Structure 1
């Protein structure tokens, strides 16, 4: 029994069912026969596990047998009233899962008077659970005012008995769902957030109950018009449920539905459509035909189809919802739901008649450019990145999340460059969504100057997202972004090859001159010897990807009078961060923080293995011969050597003290206050316009105070990840 309960607590229902079956067999061999409670308890638990596994017919057989036995024992005077109540409510909960609400209600109405009468040392908490169970039946069947009253009664009983915070979280969740149904969304969010905080405090972030609270918080935020905040929570909820429940469980379908609602609310209906189709596929397989739980998902799907112009299919979806409603609910039960469906059918029929043919997915690939509010002091910015090559690009996106929330920057567009640019766009899209920047459009840039047949690696992330809202032409996206911005306001941040910047300028010179106020470049520049010379790019990696484009961009900006700021690798060398930063950010539980740490950990250990191989060893791949063990130790440890083996099974992560944050430092320089506080600059004037470089050499790295700068970076990284998860940690 104890093993079964432990398995249930971790949502391992198959294992729990197996344990209870073994317990039942063992009890059957005991003589004399054990008590009713001892005999029925494992059987009831087995029935409940089968219910959670959506094996409703098997669950019904087990629980019906339990109830019959409990009734018989009670009739003969040997019964246990508490077990009888358990049997009634377990079967009632199954009926609720089967959307047989009237039967469920009748069973609870038989159980609750007995439960209120029973005297027991723990009766109040036991009774509170059954009151809440009955309230859930009322909520699901549409009697929300009565459900709220009972949930508040159960909550007060639990408070009086000083039950655990995790037990209180159950009441917060149930009351939150009821308040949501009553359209009191702010109150609902408050209750769900209380539940989430308690569960995060005591359970692993990967626990199924944490995912439940994440989902409900996301749902409430969506209803409050805060879908961009809801998306990170819903994304984490989906990933947890994939791991806990598997790919075909109704719990995952529910998470898909909530994430879809949030995407639809931010204008990404194509993403919502894909998720709802996955959701409905699971529901059709897991639930009996015409199950009431399918109705909300169908209604969401109909709403999304309507927004995409597919009026006929949307109407058919709502018509099916009406049929299922009428099969499951009595007259006046959930009347608002039925009326909404009928109203939609009528309106969609009219739209069909007016539009003629369907125009499905009319919004595919189209995302609006975020509005610029100059009154807030936020600077519009376009970012060119090769995210996925190494983690500092993604850390720049994390930093962008913080600076956006602080109203310091307004990202208009992110364009990925360096082949395979589309895969980088997918990673960027998912990362931005998880950081609460779902409204920021992403576009696919060029190859970055590389041969398209030799793409560089893009590291994996479970949140990487291929979707139709990604602009296939990053250049067109940047043009739209510039056109939407006020004159002389936009910062262009280049933390990758300058090829796409050059392409944009060549094709849209007049627009670029009118809109761009400065260009920030992570790379390097040759310092001119006199004022008659131009600043030119050096051989830094980003420049070398396409040196022709790099020279063009630098020369163009100086001739056009557009200021440039260049941050070099020497600046990054002057402000290395240790492994502790990565390890600490994992504690936020944010998927981006966890994944970037994983990528860094695996990458640094792979490199350690390679540098310990002989120079001619093919397993070094294209690593230069100068990159040997001594180079590695100096670069990442700040030492000549360490006492650690170089084989592939050895990790050196714990020794790493020097990891370079090239791109986040460049992102930080977008903020005038930060660039003046943390960096020294060399200034050069061309036609009266200032161009600045920080980090002109290894001995003059441009960093004013390395410790202070690292502290600021760490603070902003943490702020971004914690805020994306609504500061639950």
Structure 2
């Protein structure tokens, strides 16, 4: 059971005025959250939780929504560990009461899994996600709730780099939401987006573009979906760019950057600028891209830390750019930094490890170190085969490199970029 923040519980709202006061408190908290004033909202959500406990007792399922709202508020502040205890409490009060709607338990478990994923506790998150899916399927395998569960498992498997395993879960979520909600629904758009990103990473470009266009169109029609619309545009641009359709990618990346600049979303602008710079490298304008990529690297190191996965990706992008400029030794040093960060990141960074080894191999080739290049390709090939499948473009590229076939620097090699996390 979660604990309160240490203050004395408010008087139980056992009268009609007391219950009305509780409703007012909750509405004020919601208004503060909607306005981005999460600290002010937190105080009110804690007060509302204490009032509910005083009224209902500590172990009733009706407490789950109060725990959920406080947890969501803390997560909006980036306090994922603090929020975990309330996510756990929401699940506990539902698990410990017979007759509770299994889909509500599944939804709360799914939210807990996302929290654990955000903390990097992927193995725990995977276990909870399968529990959530089991609960959400109890009313049928083709319900909207079941789709939520399938989407959650797909997200966890994708985070683990198990893209082939994630595909059927994301696909099933799309099928259910299209049938139940229609293509224009915001939840269907989320499934289109998630599935499209995955298909792009698997090299299934035509299917990926179709899904991401559907996501963009649905979100563009929703006036309040500005950030999500930009996310879809960015993902579509990244997918096109990573699969060799560079000129087509540019306007989509520019569209994302324009939306986020208008909304003054600085962190998102950095991601769009990063993708645009990678696009410039592909278009043969590496010299123009280098200053932007150095700025992105500096921002990532300042905001997320020197050892963050995003910082490693920034080092890798800079390395590929330097390689394209013929500065192979500098490029190799940048790739070494990226690889060290990814290796330290553990199992969830395995796909990045493979990408960075493939990029190091390109540097070794350019420096005439063919034996070293083949060794790097062999190590990358093992990971790619498991994560992406034997026929994926990156797997085939690594297989050619491991066999000693001659590549031009960067030919067929991935340039990792940040893809916004699936929602």
> What TM-score, normalized by structure 2, do the two folds share?
0.69
Distance between the aligned counterparts of 1:310 and 1:238, measured in 2? 29
Residue 284 and residue 168 in structure 1: after superposition, are their counterparts in 2 closer, same or farther (change >3 A)? same
Give unpaired runs (5+ residues) of structure 2.
1-25, 370-423
Distance between the aligned counterparts of 2:94 and 2:44, measured in 1? 23
Query: Could you say which residue in structure 1 is the equivalent of 2:48?
Result: 26
Query: Could you say which residue in structure 1 is the equivalent of 2:378?
Result: none
Distance between the aligned counterparts of 1:76 and 1:52, measured in 2? 29
Distance between the aligned counterparts of 1:79 and 1:29, measured in 2? 22
Does residue 311 of structure 2 align to residue 311 of structure 1? no
Q: Tell me by how many angstroms 1:211 deviates.
A: 0.5
User: Does the 8 Å CA contact 2:60/2:97 hold for their aligned counterparts?
Assistant: no
Does residue 41 of structure 2 align to residue 41 of structure 1? no
Give unpaired runs (5+ residues) of structure 1.
355-729
Distance between the aligned counterparts of 2:359 and 2:177, measured in 1? 42
Query: Could you say which residue in structure 1 is the equivalent of 2:278?
Result: 261
User: Does the 8 Å CA contact 2:293/2:314 hold for their aligned counterparts?
Assistant: yes
Q: Decide which structure has greater strand share.
A: 1
User: Does the 8 Å CA contact 1:47/1:60 hold for their aligned counterparts?
Assistant: no
Does residue 134 of structure 2 align to residue 113 of structure 1? yes
1:7-52 superposed Cα distances (whole Å, 9 cap, x missing partner):
87xxx68335644552332342355138856544354344345445
SS in structure 1 opposite 2:37?
helix
Counterparts of residues 215-614 of structure 1 (less than 5 Å)? 215-244=234-263, 246-247=265-266, 249=267, 251-287=268-304, 290-330=307-347, 337-349=352-364, 351=366
Q: Tell me by how many angstroms 1:97 deviates.
A: 3.0
Distance between the aligned counterparts of 1:3 and 1:172, measured in 2? 34
Distance between the aligned counterparts of 1:281 and 1:319, measured in 2? 17
Identify the match of residue 181 of structure 1 among 181, 201, 209: 201
User: Does the 8 Å CA contact 2:113/2:126 hold for their aligned counterparts?
Assistant: yes
Q: Tell me by how many angstroms 1:60 deviates.
A: 1.3
1:97-125 superposed Cα distances (whole Å, 9 cap, x missing partner):
344432322221232222222x49x9921
User: Does the 8 Å CA contact 1:312/1:349 hold for their aligned counterparts?
Assistant: no
Does residue 78 of structure 2 align to residue 61 of structure 1? no
Residue 70 and residue 93 in structure 1: after superposition, are their counterparts in 2 closer, same or farther (change >3 A)? closer
Residue 145 and residue 284 in structure 1: after superposition, are their counterparts in 2 closer, same or farther (change >3 A)? same
User: Does the 8 Å CA contact 1:298/1:321 hold for their aligned counterparts?
Assistant: yes
Residue 263 and residue 51 in structure 1: after superposition, are their counterparts in 2 closer, same or farther (change >3 A)? farther
Distance between the aligned counterparts of 1:223 and 1:15, measured in 2? 38
Q: Tell me by how many angstroms 1:81 deviates.
A: 4.5
User: Does the 8 Å CA contact 2:60/2:93 hold for their aligned counterparts?
Assistant: no
**Bigger Cα Rg:** 1
Q: Decide which structure has greater helix share.
A: 2
User: Does the 8 Å CA contact 2:137/2:145 hold for their aligned counterparts?
Assistant: no
Q: Tell me by how many angstroms 1:303 deviates.
A: 0.9
Give the number of aligned pairs. 341
User: Does the 8 Å CA contact 1:4/1:17 hold for their aligned counterparts?
Assistant: no
Residue 49 and residue 238 in structure 1: after superposition, are their counterparts in 2 closer, same or farther (change >3 A)? farther
Residue 287 and residue 93 in structure 1: after superposition, are their counterparts in 2 closer, same or farther (change >3 A)? farther
User: Does the 8 Å CA contact 2:133/2:149 hold for their aligned counterparts?
Assistant: yes
Q: Tell which deviates more after alignment, 334-343 or 75-84.
A: 75-84
1:129-177 superposed Cα distances (whole Å, 9 cap, x missing partner):
2210210111122211221101111111112213553222111101101
SS in structure 2 opposite 1:14?
coil
User: Does the 8 Å CA contact 2:45/2:70 hold for their aligned counterparts?
Assistant: no
SS in structure 1 opposite 2:172?
helix
CA RMSD of aligned residues (A): 3.4
Q: Tell me by how many angstroms 1:217 deviates.
A: 1.6
SS in structure 1 opposite 2:309?
coil
User: Does the 8 Å CA contact 2:315/2:334 hold for their aligned counterparts?
Assistant: yes
Q: Tell me by how many angstroms 1:210 deviates.
A: 0.9
> What TM-score, normalized by structure 1, do the two folds share?
0.42
Distance between the aligned counterparts of 1:298 and 1:37, measured in 2? 48
Counterparts of residues 93-104 of structure 1 (less than 5 Å)? 93-104=114-125
1:222-254 superposed Cα distances (whole Å, 9 cap, x missing partner):
23433233222212312322444632x3x3333
User: Does the 8 Å CA contact 1:64/1:91 hold for their aligned counterparts?
Assistant: no
Q: Tell me by how many angstroms 1:334 deviates.
A: 6.6
